[in-house]
Structures are given as structure tokens and as C-alpha cells.
Amino acid sequence: MNIILLGAPGAGKGTQAEVINKELGIPTISTGNMLRAAVKAGTEYGLKAKAAMDAGALVSDDIVIGILKDRIAEPDAQNGFILDGFPRTVPQAEALDAMGVQIDKVIEIDVPDETIKQRLSGRRVCLKCGATYHVDFKPSKVEGVCDACGDPIVIRKDDEPATVLSRLATYHETTAPLKGYYENQGKLISVKGLDTVEETSKAVLAVLK
């Protein structure tokens, strides 16, 4: 099964991707995590992407489509995958269709902007394995340490309040139109993401049954 998780920054795409990954055993492909790893490693496209990411803007379609195309060609993605954070523009969705990738379901996690601001102010992430935590709603077992790999967990650079506002504006302007794109293809399913992580997971997994 090939799944797209759609939703505003902080809606819970990464959190629910971890749950689907455990349930279905298919890999999560997060363009955000891949870009952050590239920035950390100082690769050529990491250097190009950094300024846009720090400003809460989108990285260019060319770069992101290139990364995605290489990633879905890898062996572990041949039996299905979860796309977290891609596509984010209509040209990216069109590029995916042009690659001949068959998408089965597009799950939109719907959360109001006010809740998102609260969530992102308490988020902590592991830059090594990509696991996501929240100081109140999903704390790690040991403060400051990733449960999954033991690396330190940190505040993401783009979770500063002013940058969150830019990311939300970019989402409403450029990414939200994808709801109509996938509605027209009969693939969009919307799930309320306001409840707890566990309740939202139940709703997401019910869609995949």
C-alpha cells in the first residue's frame, strides 16, 4: 500500500507515520527528515535547502522531487511506503503521477492552527532516527534522550514561533490545494487530529483497514 499523509506542520504526520510503519511494516519516507539529514551532513542539496527551511518556506520542487524519486527506487520501498511531507505543491503531486506511482490512500490529518502552535512549542525530535516527542503529550522515557536510539532529543530550528507562522501560511497557500487535487482522484480521506495521539492513531488505522 502506498500512502500519503497530508496535513499542516505539526498536525501529527510524523507521529502517525511511526504508528502506520509499526502496523504495516512499510517504510516512512519523510522529505523533511531527509532534508534535515542533508543539512546536517552539509551535502550540496543540504546547503541549497537550508535557507528555505530556516525561513519556514518550501525547498524548490526540483530538489525535493529528485530526492523523492531516488528514495522510492530503493529496495525497501518496493512493497509500499508512507509519504510524510511529500507532495507539498501541485507540481510535486503531478510529478509523482508522472513517475507512474500508484497512490492508494491520501490521509489528511486536520488540526486547527491554534492547536498546532501549542504542539510545536513543546516538540522535541531525534535528529538521528527522526523519532518525535512532546514534553507534555508524548514525553520520552528519559528526559532529553531518544527512546528508540539513545541520541539526544532537541528542539527543531524551525519550531521558533515566528517560523511556525510562516510555515502555516505556506501550508494554507501552497499545500492545502492538494486536498482538492486528491479529492478529484477519489483518494482523500480526512481524519480529525485534535484528539490524543492514541485516538488519532485509531482513526488513521481504521481508514487503512
Binding-site ranges for Mg ion (CB under 5 A): 14
The Cβ-side half-sphere exposure at 86, using a 13 Å CA radius, reads 31
- Among residues 13, 50, 71, 124, the one annotated as catalytic is 13
Interface of this chain with ligand AP5, residues 148 to 177, rule: CB under 6 A: 158, 167
Q: Does 12 bind ligand AP5 (CB under 6 A)?
A: yes
Q: Can you tell me the distance from the alpha carbon of 131 to that of 152, in angstroms, rounded to the nearest whole number?
A: 11
Judge whether 88 counts as a catalytic residue.
yes
Helix (H, G, I), strand (E, B) or coil at 177: coil
174 — phi, psi (to 5°)? -110, -35
Q: Does 131 bind ligand AP5 (CB under 6 A)?
A: no
Q: Which is nearer to Mg ion, 14 or 193 (by Cβ)? A: 14
Q: What's the sign of the alpha-carbon dihedral 112, 115, 117, 120?
A: negative
Judge whether 119 counts as a catalytic residue.
no
Q: Which of 6, 39, 58, 191: binder of ligand AP5 (CB under 6 A)?
A: 58
Q: Does 53 bind ligand AP5 (CB under 6 A)?
A: yes
Q: Can you tell me the distance from the alpha carbon of 40 to that of 134, in angstroms, rounded to the nearest whole number?
A: 22
CB of 14 to Mg ion, least distance (A): 3
Length of the chain as a residue count: 209
Burial class (CB in 10 A: 0-12, 13-18, 19+), 5: buried
Q: Interface with ligand AP5 by CB under 6 A: which range of 21-29, 40-48, 57-65, 178-186?
A: 57-65
Reading the block at residue 107, the C-alpha cell is 490521509
Query: Measured in whole angstroms, how far is the alpha carbon of residue 168 from the centre of its chain?
Result: 14
Q: Which of 29, 50, 82, 119: binder of ligand AP5 (CB under 6 A)?
A: 119
Q: Does 81 bind ligand AP5 (CB under 6 A)?
A: no
Positions marked active-site: 13, 88, 123, 156, 167
Q: Give me the residues that bind ligand AP5 (CB under 6 A), please.
A: 7, 9-15, 31-32, 35, 52-53, 56-59, 64, 85-86, 88, 92, 119, 122-123, 132-134, 137-138, 158, 167, 193, 195-197, 200
